Structure 1
Amino acid sequence: MKEAGWIVALILAALGAAAFLLRHRLARAIGYVRADQAGGEGRREESPRGNGARSDRQWLGERFELDELEVSDVMVHRTNMRSVNADNPPEAIVREILQSPNTRIPLWRGSLDNIVGVLHAKDVLRALDEAGNDLARVDLMKFAERPWFVPDTTTLQEQLNAFLRRKAHFAIVVDEYGEVEGLVTLGDIIEEIVGEIADEGDIDLAGVKKEADGSVVVDGTVPIRDLNRALDWDLPDEEATTIAGLVIHETQSIPDEKQAFTFHGKRFVVMKRDKNRIARLRIRPVSLEAVPRPDPERT
């Protein structure tokens, strides 16, 4: 079985096992009681074919509200997306791929909005082996996969179904004008269902550093959703994508360095500003007595 096939099969098997083992507990949590447990009360209507697997899949999608979230809610934003210029020397491209924690990396020409292919680390290593490690003989574009573009308004349920149909788990997200918004993987959707999946290859969230005093130093480009996941926070991401965008939205201004604000139960201090961009922030939880208003003050 090909790599993509067995990875998808493994993930589906894990989800199926978890759903089977926890089915009674989860059913009770949402008010469903089997007929043989409650004298026939609360029985769920079955399909004419008695297709329990189909009902379970439908329930799973409803339980995690995959139809209410879009790929733009879970994607890796373009500001944090690892990519490489396809016109770079082969050795530079290979070095970037080997240094990346991801197995796939998009290739672009001219600008990031012109994605021309996606390279898989395994294919690059195979090409190097076939060329006797002579990069001059390697045409990396020959091994690049054709990029798959999906609208940013695609629901997670639709994208999950599309991943399974295509036996793929990587797509480039674009807006209505065809501009690249980011990328989404099958793993992003699975983590939305079951929670963060950690393994020995995981690294800390780029642009986030915890300090000894309990505060967190964050690059302005870090997505709010990623920060919430990493730190178990609940900062709103409806009006802004990045943490800098949240501060600008709340303050209705581009704050100066050392300016501080309190909102959403957190204290935000602007550490660095680069022209009209908030480059770095220090964030710390505030006490319950703090006034949760975005009133600026000097620190």
Structure 2
Amino acid sequence: MNDAPLGLLFGILAILILLSGFFSSSETGMMSLNRYRLKHLAKKQHKGAMRAAELLARPDRLIGVILIGNNLVNIFATVIATILASRLYGEIGLAIMPIILTIVILIFAEVTPKTIAALHPESIAFPASLILKPLLILLYPLVWLVNSFSNGLAKIIGVDPSKASISDQLHPDELRTAVDEHGDLIPDQHQGILLNVLDLEKATVEDIMIPRNEVFGLDLEDDIPTLLKRIRTSEYTRLPVYEGDINNIVGILHLRNAARFIHGDNKSVTHEAIRRFTRDPYFIPEGTPLHTQLMHFQRQKRRMAIVVDEYGDVQGIVTMEDLLEEIVGDFTTNLAEEENPEISQLEDSWYLIEGGTSIRDINRHLSWELPTDGPKTLNGLIVEELQNIPAGHTGIKIGDYKIETVALSDKMIESARVKAV
């Protein structure tokens, strides 16, 4: 080798540096591949993706063959560079050779190839798999020997490389970030729906239910004219039917069934007729997560459920429409619009909000971040902060929000002015 022409030695050195760059870029390209896109392309029979997926199924072997190849070519490059430095500059060349070779390898075999591979992993990894796969077969005995020792050390610290997989699981928060980051690929409306679906597990039916004091139903202790008036003026298609107290619910009446007993004059209608055409009530605990209740509605073929607490007392009702609105948004007028009775916009960014308004509704429609881990309504939030129902008008600050009471009663705060600061 000492007698070889200088031109040949420089040519060999250049080839070795190129090979080092190939191994370096292959490693970065393979490890930078999007696992989910790779899986998608492999399912579509993309040959490069299939090869890359097969190699990544055992990353310990892939890294082993890449590092063996990279170290071999770097060692040979060092030998060739040493010979060239010795023949050209003697002992001085041997002294400066490590510095020059390090700079050359860093620029041409490490930083540049790895940067390109990180930016365009598929363009590097898929073609590289054509070489890496047969090279793995060729060097398998050496790869096996190296991996046997390295895997043994890994197992000592609790890592089993043989169980590695490219089908990494995403945490819901990570999936949310993925949806946010790729918003330009997903229409805004669809992106919002996806994020709302991910949020279902964070809320329970208690967060979206209609509270018992707002439930519109039929009390069988009322006389027939009163019941018929409520049926005919109802804005809802399903009404809970109870006796005296809402805790004594006997069934759910669908108004399409009302035509079966409302015929002729009012004298033909009886309490028993109303009771006969009701469907058995469907009770659910108040702590049921929304994503679980959605499946329960589908399995039970129901559209309305009665929410009860741990003592069996009715707390409110929740419907399929309420749950779907958590995913796709309101089907009716936006709560933040001026004509809405619960939230009205005032001057200087103030909003007049009814005390019974759900905090989730306020946050969703005003893009606020009032705390939701405690009370469910604005009234409850203020009362919890004050530790009592105020005797007169008062103002408080909760986080980044100013709140001033407007209308009070003995039982609750009827309305308040709220502003984000």
TM-score normalized by structure 2? 0.50
- The alignment status of 1:152 with 2:286, answered yes or no, reads yes
* Structure 2 equivalent of residue 267 of structure 1: 402
Given the alignment, which residue of 244, 249, 268 partners 1:137? 268
Shift of 1:240: 0.6
* Structure 2 equivalent of residue 219 of structure 1: 354
> Which digits, 9 at most, give the CA deviation of each residue in 1:80-129, with x for residues without a partner?
3222322212332232234333211212222121112222222224432x
Shift of 1:284: 2.6
Mapped contact 1:259–1:269 kept (Cα < 8 A): yes
> Which digits, 9 at most, give the CA deviation of each residue in 1:28-86, with x for residues without a partner?
xx9732435482559659xxxxxxxxxxxxxx899625444322222222233222322
Mapped contact 2:305–2:318 kept (Cα < 8 A): yes
Mapped contact 2:206–2:287 kept (Cα < 8 A): yes
- The alignment status of 1:103 with 2:259, answered yes or no, reads no
Given the alignment, which residue of 18, 32, 36 partners 1:32? 36
Shift of 1:225: 2.1
Q: Provide the rounded CA distance (Å) in 1 between the counterparts of 2:213 and 2:407.
A: 18
- Count matched residues: 238
* Structure 1 equivalent of residue 303 of structure 2: 169
Mapped contact 1:61–1:157 kept (Cα < 8 A): no
Mapped contact 1:271–1:280 kept (Cα < 8 A): yes
Mapped contact 2:284–2:307 kept (Cα < 8 A): yes
Shift of 1:164: 1.1
Mapped contact 1:171–1:185 kept (Cα < 8 A): yes
Mapped contact 2:247–2:313 kept (Cα < 8 A): yes
User: What SS is found at the alignment partner of 1:282?
Assistant: strand
* Structure 2 equivalent of residue 253 of structure 1: 388
Mapped contact 1:94–1:124 kept (Cα < 8 A): no
Q: Provide the rounded CA distance (Å) in 1 between the counterparts of 2:196 and 2:332.
A: 25
Mapped contact 2:282–2:306 kept (Cα < 8 A): yes
Shift of 1:176: 0.9
Given the alignment, which residue of 204, 208, 213 partners 1:79? 213
- The alignment status of 1:196 with 2:330, answered yes or no, reads yes
Mapped contact 2:217–2:241 kept (Cα < 8 A): yes
Q: Provide the rounded CA distance (Å) in 2 between the counterparts of 1:152 and 1:167.
A: 19
Shift of 1:209: 3.3
* Structure 1 equivalent of residue 101 of structure 2: none
> Which digits, 9 at most, give the CA deviation of each residue in 1:189-227, with x for residues without a partner?
222233333489xx9755433335543222222222233
Amino acid across the alignment from 1:32:
Y
Mapped contact 1:268–1:284 kept (Cα < 8 A): yes
User: What SS is found at the alignment partner of 1:178?
Assistant: coil
- The alignment status of 1:278 with 2:413, answered yes or no, reads yes
Q: Provide the rounded CA distance (Å) in 1 between the counterparts of 2:297 and 2:280.
A: 15
Flag the structure with higher strand content. 1
Mapped contact 2:351–2:417 kept (Cα < 8 A): yes
Amino acid across the alignment from 2:403:
F
Unaligned runs of at least 5 residues, structure 2 = 1-33, 43-48, 54-164, 169-193
Against the structure 1 CA distance between its residues 95 and 211, is the aligned structure 2 distance closer, same or farther, given a 3 Å change threshold? farther
* Structure 2 equivalent of residue 94 of structure 1: 228
Flag the structure with higher helix content. 2
* Structure 2 equivalent of residue 244 of structure 1: 379
Shift of 1:157: 2.8
Q: Provide the rounded CA distance (Å) in 1 between the counterparts of 2:35 and 2:399.
A: 33
Shift of 1:169: 1.1
TM-score normalized by structure 1? 0.68
* Structure 2 equivalent of residue 55 of structure 1: none
Bigger mean CA offset, 186-195 vs 239-248: 186-195
Against the structure 1 CA distance between its residues 227 and 61, is the aligned structure 2 distance closer, same or farther, given a 3 Å change threshold? closer
Unaligned runs of at least 5 residues, structure 1 = 1-29, 46-59, 287-299
Q: Provide the rounded CA distance (Å) in 2 between the counterparts of 1:223 and 1:118.
A: 25
Mapped contact 2:197–2:327 kept (Cα < 8 A): no
Q: Provide the rounded CA distance (Å) in 2 between the counterparts of 1:229 and 1:127.
A: 42
Amino acid across the alignment from 1:35:
K
Shift of 1:174: 0.4
Mapped contact 1:223–1:243 kept (Cα < 8 A): yes
Mapped contact 2:342–2:354 kept (Cα < 8 A): yes
* Structure 1 equivalent of residue 370 of structure 2: 235
1:1-12 equivalence runs, <5 A: none
Bigger mean CA offset, 97-106 vs 234-243: 97-106
Amino acid across the alignment from 1:250:
E
> What fraction of aligned residue pairs are identical, expressed as a percent?
31
Shift of 1:180: 0.7
Mapped contact 2:220–2:244 kept (Cα < 8 A): no
